[in-house]
Amino acid sequence: MFLLRHFSILSLACVALLAKIYTYEELKNEPKSLAKDYYINRLINEGSYTKEQIAELSRDVFRKSGLVQKSINKILPPKAAPSKCPGINASNITSASLACQNLLTTMSFSLKLDNKTREILAANLAATNPEKARILRTLNEPNPALSFANANDAKSFLELFNASSPQSKSALFSVNFEANFMNKLYMQKGFTNLLNDVVFNKKYEGFRRNLLSIDPAVTEKSDAFTLGLNAILLGKNDVAFSFFTRAKNTFDRAWQRDNATFWQYELSGDESFLKELSASKDANIYSLYARDLVGGEPLEVIVPRPSKQNIENFDVSDPFLWNKTTTLAKDMNATQASEFAMRFYTNESIGAYAYFMQKAHGWEKQYFLMPSSPELEGISTERKSMIYALARQESLFIPSVVSTSYALGMMQFMPFLANAIGKKELKIPNFDQDDLFKTDVAFKFANHHLNYLDKFLYHPLFTAYAYNGGIGFTKKVITRDDMFNEGKFEPFLSIELVPVAETRNYGKKVLANYVIYMALNGSSIKISQLFENLTKPALTDKFRN
């Protein structure tokens, strides 16, 4: 009861504060949050302020690497750190102090030097910095990558790889390295970035063959999974199976374990893996596909259907209020969270209801929300299902969400796109980007944007890619000669090799959502048919026809 009374006071206080562009006075006492970052950014770019006010607000930035910090830096330029070695470059490095010679000879700098200069520097540093001298002399050897590997120096090996040109990488790293060294390289900080780059972009095949020798037992989770994909690309299915098994045994999330189980099935043909997938309680593309093939119990999903339209004394479009509400609820136990959730059991606040019910149940329940809106009336089942599928992934149907990149509202439109659509395309009078915090406006914009995407893309997976990563990115991916064509393991291998992890996983989740929402809207579609269509350009997109 205390929580509910406290909550009521909080909601009434916050409703009065909602504005388009907050002033310094309105912002200064708000707690740190992405919402505050967003509104500080709006104030700097659209409002009135003094430098002193921005200096004070800068102390409250929630995400220092965000857009707001760039805006602050334009008003209050950070002081450049003084150079410790001014005027020293590759042409005069040998005449610098020993401290500067050691400081400046990073891997990328050292690669710009000729052999003679590197040897002079190595001799100069041998007594005070023998490790740096060793690295410099190694760079003078015929194949420094092999030399670093033979010395078991994974750190320098990785630095050399990252600093080398594509041509040098092909020449230096396409040799065989010992398995023990590859195991050590796997453990080196920064290896995951290297792995993702070479596998998802299918680069440096000669080097990638060395990844096959890594012991699956030293790997885990997404790295093990990516090593499995690499093995498939290199035709080593037995090695791939071992990596996927390791990934499955170390993944924390059910959908990831199901992903690995699917590849165990694909590689082995053992239907026991399909049956295992068909029994999964997680709603993902692989558990749905297995049910298509071998049947199984229907997935358990929860579809709340509140009869009440509006919540009292709570503005669902206020991002500050939502931030304060979630903060208030952080320490709730399951019973308190369930009771708190009932406060939100209305059509306009159903996202908050599901959020707190998920908290109460440890995020194990699967809520598929279907809020009504005038903007969803009279549209096709496919379009309504797609909008719901996107909203579930974008925001969990929370109207006032602000992302790290300041995408806004339930359908997560970036401000530049929101303004282009609202002012130029839909010509909404007095439109402001904060209108995206209103559910009906968010649905209207999503429907409008999907009208545009549907001119080029006819498949929900490709539409999801474009909604998240942009239509240019999607065109680039699907028109590659090695993606979404007929072939072994297709289209599943292409789905795994979309080069941006966020978009790759986003597409998988939205596709699963879409299939489930189609069923909930009374128009079932088999995911197996959607997979089959992916290698038929006439059924999926305009770009490949």
What confidence score (pLDDT) does residue 81 get?
87
What confidence score (pLDDT) does residue 5 get?
35
Q: What is the pLDDT of residues 212-265, one digit of tens each?
A: 999 999 999 999 999 999 999 999 999 999 999 999 999 999 999 999 999 999
Residue whose C-alpha is closest to residue 482's, from 205, 222, 175: 205
Distance between CA atoms of residues 499 and 493, nearest Å: 12
User: Three-state SS string across 57-79, please?
Assistant: HHCCCCCCCCHHHHHHHHHCCCC
Distance between CA atoms of residues 289 and 532, nearest Å: 11
What confidence score (pLDDT) does residue 260 get?
99
Distance between CA atoms of residues 457 and 471, nearest Å: 9
The residue ranges of the chain whose pLDDT is under 50 are 1-19
Number of helices and strands (H, E) in the chain?
A: 31, 0
- Tokens 């299902």 sit at which residue? 385
Q: What is the pLDDT of residues 57-111, one digit of tens each?
A: 999 999 999 899 999 999 999 998 899 999 999 999 999 999 999 999 999 999 9
What confidence score (pLDDT) does residue 520 get?
98
Residue whose C-alpha is closest to residue 144's, from 124, 158, 131, 130: 158
For residue 290, CA distances in Å to 338, 462, 506 come to: 33, 22, 20
CB atoms within 10 A of CB 319: 25
What confidence score (pLDDT) does residue 329 get?
83
- Domain ranges in the chain? 2-75
Distance between CA atoms of residues 351 and 368, nearest Å: 10
Cα torsion 126, 131, 134, 138 to 10°: value is: -150
What confidence score (pLDDT) does residue 80 get?
87
The continuous run of DSSP H or E covering 49 comes out as none
pTM score, two decimals? Answer: 0.94
Task: Output the CA angle 9-12-13, nearest 5 degrees.
Answer: 85
Tokens of 351: 């996202």
Distance between CA atoms of residues 399 and 355, nearest Å: 12
Residues counted in the chain: 545
Tokens of 236: 């080593």
CB 492 within 8 A of CB 344: no
- Tokens 């959020």 sit at which residue? 355
What confidence score (pLDDT) does residue 15 get?
38
